[in-house]
Amino acid sequence: MYDEQLLSEVTLKAKQWLGEGYDDATKAEVERMLNNDDKTDLIESFYKNLEFGTGGLRGIMGAGSNRMNIYTVGMATQGLANYLKEAFKDLEQIKVIVGHDVRNNSRLFAETVANIFSANGIKVYLFEGPRPTPEVSYAIRLLGCQSGVNITASHNPKEYNGYKAYWDDGAQVVSPHDVNIIDNVNRIQDVSEIKFEGNPDLIEIVGENIDAQYIEQIHTLSLSPDIDKRQHDLKIVYTPIHGVGRDIVPRSIMRWGFDNIIHIPEQDVMSGDFPTVVQPNPEMRSAMEMAIAKAEEVQADIALASDPDADRISVVFKNNKGEYDLVNGNQIQLIFHYYLITRNAELGRLNRDRDYIVKTIVTSETISRIAKKQGIKLYDCYTGFKWIATVMRDLEGTSARYLGGGEESYGFLPEDFCRDKDSVSSIPLMCEIAAWAKDRGQTMNEMLIELYKTYGYSKERGISVVRTGKSGAEEIVAMMKNFRENPMKEIDGSPVVLIKDFQLLEQKDLKTGKVEKIDMPTTSNVLQYYTEDGTKVSIRPSGTEPKIKFYIEVHDVNWDGNDYDAKNDWGDAKLDRIAHDLGIA
């Protein structure tokens, strides 16, 4: 049974896609949906316009206003081009870089974007083939571009594609440009307004010249080149999970001096169908099964993966039981920050007056303890690398030195010449950390235990509740509303002592009743609970996927370092109980 008014509206909207300006394949797909007795596809494809948000577009590919296709991509690009010509009207020549991943239709969409920019008089550097998302960010700064676009849906399932827009600092757009771009995109009401016919004279193909400079600059991040040479035969398993990291990540690893890279041939195949995995998300164990199996087969020191657009990193090493296990995103962040701070201190390079690190508000508070104990400035920001990049931009040109920044969702950035999470630099750095630990007679797991013993034990779990379609979006809104209007009073028996609401930019101390303002650049739909025993629960809807995310972390700051397995069991049991309390177990 369908809502008759909604069905009437989407039918009228769909019929407009049968008119002039749309290609025959699109018209045929729309006709199929209109003639189908089951109207689900029709409604999902047309009940709204695919929204150009602050990060760009992301959606299922297909015909329709709520799908990724050359027309929704075209409207986004025409709107962005219009705004660029307004924002940089005094420049003689506006320049942009355009890249794409390996997904189906990614090259088509990238060429569509390049044609539209060039048709609007904008100079376009178009990558010759698939490239990492962070390399697009790097190229913006290298080539002095005013903007950039990367066609990618990151680690989403194969049905998806996306459109990431960047500004002249190499970061994804933030205020006021994000809102202004959205306004310009929303003004495009008809495909006739899109300039699809490109100007070849304004499109320049780029590739290896940028790759080589990128890899060389990444190598300058090495803190232990002598150790890398000594441990050159470190056993490293690497998989790109069918993505763009296939060629450039091994090149980057080898530039650091490591020459024992073990591949998984089946996953070295670049394919938008991601044939060996259900979903190419390196956060999921299922996507890492082949890497874990290969690590067991060769008894690797470490196994690593990048996601399809090579911005995220996944790490596997032996746990306390001698089994290869997936390291969670918070532990990846802990390891990076621990090494960068510790190694800089060993080398006499740590400057506590100017060095700083960045994390997101949903990432482990153990990083805060590391920063505090080491006297390093820590900046907490919203989820998403555009906010980490905002901190970097605000401090650029000052004496402050960026050491690293990341978020629990498996993204880290160890450099300042790029402004998005970067596996091409993070993976060789993680190899160096493994070499550093081995040089000191430690496994990676023993190093992690040492970290917890020094700074306190923590365990984290992310749980995503997926709710698809129109009804799912409404359910997510209702869930957030309920958590705000009926706040939890205790979690796993421990009283809630502090609630932070980033939509209101207010925090309330439940012991004193005192309400204070939160100093953040803008509002965000995030709610956090802090308990008396150190538990932290963060809740937010995803900005790119149809899900609501729960981030749970538990702590024992006084752990003595003994019986790590028992402590992990304690953490797992506590996380299970909290998930039950939240109603998401």
The per-residue pLDDT for range 113-166, each reduced to its tens digit, is: 999 999 999 999 999 999 999 999 999 999 999 999 999 999 999 999 999 999
In sign, the C-alpha dihedral spanning 561, 565, 569, 575 is: positive
The answer, yes or no, to whether residue 1 has pLDDT greater than 60, is: no
Q: Which two tokens mark 192?
A: 């006739």
Q: State residue 51's pLDDT score.
A: 87
Pairing mode, strands 123-127 and 56-60:
unpaired
- Of 154, 306, 409, 458, the active-site residue reads 154
pLDDT averaged over every residue in the chain: 95
Q: Identify the structural domains of the chain with CATH numbers, from first to last.
A: 48-206 (3.40.120.10), 214-455 (3.40.120.10), 457-582 (3.30.310)
- Per residue in 247-266, pLDDT tens? 999 999 999 999 999 999 99
Q: State residue 473's pLDDT score.
A: 85
Q: Which stretch of 142-156, 275-289, 416-430, 469-483 has the lowest confidence by average pLDDT? A: 469-483
Segments in 36-152 forming alpha helices (H)? 40-46, 70-87, 106-119, 133-143
The answer, yes or no, to whether residue 469 has pLDDT greater than 90, is: no
Residues above pLDDT 70, as percent of the chain: 99
Q: Which of 165, 169, 97 is nearest to 397 (CA)?
A: 169
Q: What is the mean pLDDT of residues 351-364?
A: 97
The answer, yes or no, to whether residue 544 has pLDDT greater than 70, is: no
Confidence of residue 2 (pLDDT cuts 50, 70, 90): low
Which residues face 204 on adjacent strands? 125
Segments in 236-299 forming alpha helices (H)? 245-255, 285-298
Active site includes 154? yes
Cβ distance 119 to 195 under 8 Å? yes
Q: What is the mean pLDDT of residues 419-447?
A: 98
Q: Which residues contact 458 (CB under 8 A, 6 or more apart)?
A: 330, 364, 365, 366, 452, 553, 554, 555, 556, 571
Residues above pLDDT 90, as percent of the chain: 93
